[in-house]
Amino acid sequence: MLNSFDVTWIVILGVFLLAGIVKGVVGMGLPTVAMGLLAITMPPPDAAAILLVPSFATNVWQLLAGPSFFGLCKRLWTMMVGIVIGTVSGAGLIAGAHSTGALAALGVALTLYAALGLRSKKFVVRPTHEPWLSPLIGVVTGLITGATGVFVIPAVPYLQALQLERNDLIQALGLSFTVSTVALAGGLFGQGVFEASTSLLGLSLLALVPALLGMFAGQHLRERMSVETFRRVFFIGLLLLGLYLTFKGLS
């Protein structure tokens, strides 16, 4: 007969395997998918704590694999500082007592991200707007990260709007996600999330295994299917999940 730890581990195995496959195919989405699915079965702060190690490991890998690390750091450092400030400032929201509010906020963030991903229209940011827009985008992304554990809005649409080369964009996403993960870890530690449940760090370490296996499988799958088709199915599924979490959190 399965105990509660066995059930939790089976859920984590399936969630991070799927999330890793998504990241392997489209280059992002592991924390987003993991947070969305884990939040169905556990409080958002616990879900955010469990995704830290897999998110950090896979995003550092993505960050260091690109060709323009120092150039991107020089260009995007104000955005990264904004992410840290916003995430640490907002971490109390996801770790606070209002878990249903955090669940609804997560659902809204996923819904917005999916809606933007399904749009064919592309945004463009002029270089003259970057000096003031980058830190603003960073702070807003950080606040949403602190409230929901999801760090794609508005960072991903903004980085896509900078019209970076493909490899530079993937590396810039890795930079943003890595900084967000570290900042979220600091915020959760500051709020005492790991002190309340010491098993979360162990679960996060265990979750790294299926996440990496999923990434390898996703990279293999990417060679055999249309990435655009997969992206559309992914965003439709994310949209439905976001709407479900929003209504669940508000009910």
pLDDT tens string 16-38: 999 999 888 877 778 888 988 88
Residue 145 has pLDDT above 70, yes or no: yes
Determine the Cα–Cα distance for residues 59 and 217; give it in Å rounded to an integer: 17
Range 4-9 average pLDDT = 69
The two tokens of residue 57 are 């490991």
Burial class of residue 139 (count of CB atoms within 10 Å of its CB; 0-12, 13-18, 19+): buried
**Residue among 201, 151, 139 at smallest CA distance from 175:** 151
CA dihedral 38, 42, 48, 54 (to 10 degrees): -50
Mean pLDDT, rounded, for 205-225: 87
* Residue 15 Cα to chain centre, angstroms: 14
Report, as an integer, the average pLDDT of 129-145: 94
Residue 224 three-state SS: coil
Cis check for the bond before 154: say yes or no (omega within 30 of 0). Answer: yes
pTM: 0.84
**Residue 65 to residues 59, 167, 174: CA-CA distances in angstroms?**
10, 9, 9
**Region 190-204: what's the mean pLDDT?**
74
Contact 246/41 with Cβ under 8 angstroms?
no
**pLDDT for the residue 149:** 85
Q: How far is CA 59 from CA 174, 180, 225, in A?
A: 5, 10, 23
pLDDT surpasses 60 at 62: yes
User: What pLDDT, on a 0 to 100 scale, did the predictor assign at position 179?
Assistant: 96
Q: What is the mean pLDDT of the chain?
A: 85
Rounded distance between C-alpha atoms, residue 211 and residue 20, angstroms: 5
pLDDT interval class at 1 (50, 70, 90): very low
240: how many CB neighbours lie within 10 A of its CB? 13
* More reliable by pLDDT, 192 or 159: 159
Note the pLDDT of residue 197: 58
pLDDT score, position 194? 67
Give residues with Cβ within 8 angstroms of 247, minimum separation 6.
107
Tokens of 4: 């509660």
Handedness of CA 13, 52, 69, 113 (dihedral sign): positive
pLDDT band at 79 (very low <50, low <70, confident <90, very high): very high
The answer to whether 117 touches 241, Cβ cutoff 8 Å, is no
* pLDDT tens column, 101-127: 777 887 888 898 888 888 866 778 988
pLDDT of residue 218: 86
